[in-house]
Amino acid sequence: MARIVGYCIDDVIHDRIMNPGRVVPKSSLSFQLDVPMFLRKLRVYFPSQPLDVKTKFYNSDKDDLFLEVKIENISSSTVFIREVSLELPEMYTEEALNTLNMDGEDECTFGTRTFLQAAEGRHYLYHLRVKEEYLEKARTLSGPTEMGKVEILWKKELGGIAMLHTVPLQREASSCGELQLSLETIPDTVAREEPFQITCKITNCTEKKMKLLLKMSDTTSIRWCGCSRRNLGNLLPGSSLSFTLTLLCLKLGLRKISGIRIINTTTKTKYRYDGVTTVCVVPSMVKMQS
């Protein structure tokens, strides 16, 4: 309200606060008396936030990620969830895993309900894939990495104004080192003293070509079968190759697969891979009966 030389002007200004949090609206007024005059006021507001949002990234052996978004209603009243969406960096694509195929039609895993009661929670799951042209860049990421944001449109009552809640996404990208090893195939259960095979994949995470030599070392419970040295050839930057190994276990129980050694003969660098996975070793008769 402004009073100028006996005049009164009443005006109600409406503003829509989309993202709860610390809000500092600015209001200004200019008027003419003997000279032009200007007035500015600042007000600080803290709109309440009824949603508690937690996010978690899960890495896989491949060049992709899984994102879990947990939304909980921490208020004492019902909150209607209108939409949950992701805004990701250019190098990623997303696939929402929040539907089930029922009789040929996709149905939401939460049913037809669009609201959360007080203290009620909901989990959203997304599959993030790296675009092919960004694979080399993604493999060299390490440390805290910005991953975009989650946007949640919600409202307190039907017919009300929808509010926007934004949660920034960040993950700790673990560097795979210079040479990453992962397992493509391995049996869950093996028989004692009977050979079985595993398939490994190695990826060159550097910007230089490697010339690789594979060596296997026996342990107290693991014996490698066949030649203990093998040339794997050249591996270009950002590329991968797979190879199959044969081994047998001498002891029962859960046994770790260890003893894989890879040497970059160009730089004489040695890479050790111990405890890459675990297998369950059972007697031969138990294996046959199962």
Q: pLDDT-based confidence at 69, cuts 50/70/90?
A: very high
pLDDT bracket for residue 48 (50, 70, 90): low
Q: Residue 36 has what pLDDT?
A: 78
Share of the chain above pLDDT 70, in %: 79
Whether residue 82 has pLDDT greater than 70:
yes
Q: What's residue 94's pLDDT?
A: 92
Q: Tell me the pLDDT tens digit for each residue of 83-115.
A: 999 999 999 999 998 887 777 777 788 877 788
pLDDT band of 231, cuts 50, 70, 90: very high
Lowest-pLDDT choice from 51-60, 153-162, 219-228: 153-162
- Reply yes or no on whether the pLDDT at 261 is more than 60: yes
Range 156-167 average pLDDT: 83
Average confidence (pLDDT) over 3-31: 62
For residue 100, the model assigns a pLDDT of: 79
User: What pLDDT, on the 0 to 100 scale, is given for residue 148?
Assistant: 93
Residue 134, pLDDT > 60, answer: yes
pTM here? 0.56
Token pair 């209001």: residue: 27
pLDDT at residue 224, as a whole number? 92
Q: What is the pLDDT of residues 194-211, one digit of tens each?
A: 999 999 999 887 888 999
**Does 18 have pLDDT greater than 60?**
no
The percentage of residues in the chain with a pLDDT greater than 90, rounded to a whole number, is 34
pLDDT at 289 over 60: no
